[in-house]
Chain A
Amino acid sequence: MEKDYEDIPGTFVFDADRSREGYHLNQFCISLRLQANRDRFQADEKTYLDAYPMTSDQRDAVLNRDWNRLLELGGNIYYTSKLAANDGINFQNLAGLMTGMGVEEYRKMMVEGGRPIEGNRYKSEWGEE
């Protein structure tokens, strides 16, 4: 099936291919929704992760809190935000980290009206393939 939505810069559309790739990663992330699981994860992250058969790249991205890498490996933002919440990071600060702008500069951009659509529609506008 043609993916017309792939030509959007700086964006992952969470389709079935990404969902398959990220399944165990995302199931791990959502497990942190519950306090009892957050307690167990915080006590011993590596042992907790052993219950989820994700790839070693995915596992490393979790342990390193590499937020963009998690998305590149099939994670979805609504799942990875549960890992961020475990770390006390809300959606806005997580976006600050993912954009590489940092929390303060990102917040300032949002208060000033956000990222404009002009120049941000197509990958070619970002010099991407």
Chain B
Amino acid sequence: MARITAGIGCSHVPAIGVAMDLGNTHEPYWQPVFKGFEKSREWQKENNPDVIFMVYNDHCTAFDASCIPTFALGCAAEFQPADEGFGPRPVPVVKNHQKMASHIAQSLILDEFDITIMNEMEVDHGLTVPLSVMYGEIPQDGEWPALVIPLCVNVVQYPAPTGNRCYNLGKAIRRAIESYDEDLNVHIYGTGGMSHQLQYKRAGLINPEWDNDFLDRLTTDPVGLSQMPHVEYLREAGSEGVEMVMWHVMRGALNDDITEVHRFYHVPASNTAVGHIIFENHA
């Protein structure tokens, strides 16, 4: 059967992707960011999964204002990197484990999580930047070393799903994955954040104390953490910091007992605090 062996939390700042695409990663501004992912890339090589279940959000790219699904599961055979206004990122097309994605969709709906099924979808930096930081530069005509099942979460129009809902969805995703009858190693990603505000006069807000407390509580108090009301994210972590609800999906899909094998925190990447953490499930 398929099994989840690790969970990864990761910011998905678009400028990180741009720095990689333009070959600027050795500039003094970017060096500390990519240094923080050196250990992650080694770990990724040693533990490369068959399938990545990627929880991310679309930034008004694949979804315009006409249709705003709270949870949308990518069930297409593949997903093209989208043009977000500057031209598409020069990274490989993202390939799905389509049969497993369909199984997960069916399992989630019967488990009373009424998700939207996407049979065509482009993916933006929210999905491709975490792949890039974990795998390094891969040419456009190359291949990502894992299949990817995308779960797109609305965090643009208030309200995003609650942390509690996300945490429990993680548990349902785990049940879905573990009921899939193929021997597959699966990693689950929660992406976005950490503290950042991109808009209006408070733009540039960063709250390292809040961010590090969030990272700590993923291990020490994940259920309590999942109860945090939206207004606290918006006030303490910035209006775009509410992306952090997606990390609860990742955490909910893991065992109660986990081992933190890597953590990295850095300010800034563009407007944003970069947070990254790797958890292994206890065997």
Contact = CB atoms under 8 A, between A and B. Distances in A.
Interface of A: 4-5, 8-16, 19, 22-23, 26-27, 29-30, 32-35, 38, 68, 71, 76-79, 81-82, 84-86, 90-92, 94-95, 98-100, 106, 109-111, 113-117, 120-121
Given A35-B87, A110-B270, 6 more contacts: A5-B230, A5-B235, A10-B202, A11-B200, A26-B60, A78-B59
B191 interface: no
B156 A76 contact: yes
Contacts of A11: 197, 199-202, 234, 239
Contacts of B213: none
A14 B271 CA distance: 19
A23 B234 CA distance: 22
A82 B86 CA distance: 9
B160 to A, nearest CB: 11
B156 A33 contact: no
Interface of B: 14-15, 18, 29, 59-61, 64-66, 82-87, 156-159, 195, 197-210, 229-231, 234-236, 239-240, 267-268, 270-271, 273
Looking at B66, B159, B204, which has the most chain A CB atoms within 10 Å of its CB? B204
Nearest to B68: A19
B205 to A, nearest CB: 5
B200 A14 contact: no
B202 A30 contact: no
Nearest to A96: B203
Contact of A27 (B15, B65, B204): B65
B200 A68 contact: yes
23 contacts: A5-B235, A8-B202, A10-B203, A11-B197, A11-B202, A22-B65, A27-B64, A30-B60, A30-B64, A30-B65, A38-B85, A76-B156, A78-B156, A79-B65, A85-B84, A95-B198, A99-B203, A99-B204, A100-B201, A106-B203, A106-B204, A113-B268, A117-B206
Contacts, number: 159
A68 B270 CA distance: 19
Nearest to B87: A35
A117 B207 contact: yes
Most chain A CB neighbours (cut-off 10 Å) among B85, B159, B200, B270: B85
A90 B272 CA distance: 13
A22 B197 CA distance: 20
A98 B85 contact: no
Contacts of B15: 90-92
Contacts of A106: 203-204
Given A68-B201, A92-B271, A114 B206 contact: yes
B203 A95 contact: yes
Contacts of B230: 5
Contacts of A8: 202, 234-235, 239
B196 to A, nearest CB: 8
A121 B235 contact: yes
Contacts of A27: 64-66
B268 A77 contact: no
B205 A91 contact: no
Contact of A14 (B29, B157, B204, B235): B157
Contacts of B200: 10-12, 68, 71, 77, 98-99
Contacts of B209: 117
